[in-house]
Amino acid sequence: MSQVVQSRAGVAARAQEDRAAASLALAPHGATMRAAVVAETGGPDVLRMADVPIPHRLDSEVLVKIVAAGVNPVDLRLRAGEPGGPTLGALPAVLGRDFSGVVVESPYEDHALHPGDEVFGLAMAPRMPGSYAPYVAVPSVSLARKPARLSHVEAAATPVSALTAWGMVVDIGKAHEGQVVLVHAGAGGVGHFAVQFARHFGARVIATGSPRNVDWLAELGADEVIDRTQVRFEDVLADVDVVIDLVGNCTDDTGTRSLPVLRRGGLIVSAPVQGWPTLVQDAAAVGVRATHYEVAPDGQTLAVIARLLESGDIKVYVDEVFDLADAAEAHRHVESGHARGKVVLNVSRG
């Protein structure tokens, strides 16, 4: 596979990450850490660095020293306080779900994970303190061992996007040889994993994307790529088995427009919630099915994905890396709509 799929950040970050991981020291209970927090909803500038308590793990949890954290669209929606979207709850709040780092403390001596183990996983902010911080405490079932061939930056780009793509393409879509799968926004964080998973399981993959991503999506493994600025996909497609809808009806009714391209009995799996209840009714009216997927921590599936990453069968692409203190700038970059793959925060640099 072409080098264009490889992360632009991974190799350069390895040495610094290794030094950061090697210098771990468990802070005393009650100590504080510098985290990127939101004290109110609004634009990217509401993200500020502040001192917050280092989380005290529960008996079933693992304390992880974070090296890098991924930025996801849900982080932006939480920060913005979108009407009808997810809510932050108590403020100030630490955002962030993806992370990669090193175990500092585990539940008991013979636990599968030990201090010094490199792991990656998912923190379900805002129900718990998130990953835009030097430490996170999460249930051990939320973690998997980091693939050795991945840098912490690359690993941090993986959990939310890869687990979402797996849930949509594999668990719900049942990707298999001979199936035709259409992936909307194939160059995004979830999309670039969805394209690869569908291809890995033998499906014929069609992806939509912007002009700058057409060639890249083909190199990623898509059998057909549609430039969404030049062609209306519903004018050229038919008899699709599964649509992986990562756009929804947010801007141009992509979800609704996808229904006619499905074969009778076909399935559309949506991640965006905008327009989803209506989409279910519209789908049933034309003889197709619609469902929605929301990611949850799943260390067991993440371990399966880790093996695919370790073997090189699946690759993760990192678009840009920002320091934790520049989290607001990272959010602006994601909001621009120009990110390819994932945006990551280097937490070890503060």
Q: Are 181 and 169 in contact (CB under 8 A)?
A: yes
Residue 17 has pLDDT above 50, yes or no: no
pLDDT in tens, 276-285: 668 899 999 9
Q: Is 341 left (phi over 0), alpha (psi -120 to 50) or beta?
A: left
Mean pLDDT taken over the chain? 90
pTM here?
Answer: 0.89
pLDDT for the residue 199: 98
pLDDT for the residue 85: 67
pLDDT in tens, 175-227: 999 999 999 999 999 999 999 999 999 999 999 999 999 999 999 999 999 99
| Residues 271/320/151/223 CA torsion (nearest 10 deg) | 50
CA 135 from centre of chain: 19
* Three-class DSSP category at 223: coil
d(CA 212, CA 328): 25
* Three-class DSSP category at 313: coil
**In the chain, what are the domains?**
3-158+316-349 (3.90.180.10), 160-292 (3.90.180.10)
Residue type, 134: P
Residue 163 has pLDDT above 80, yes or no: yes
pLDDT in tens, 106-135: 987 667 899 999 999 999 877 788 999 999
φ and ψ at 91, to 5 degrees? -115, 150
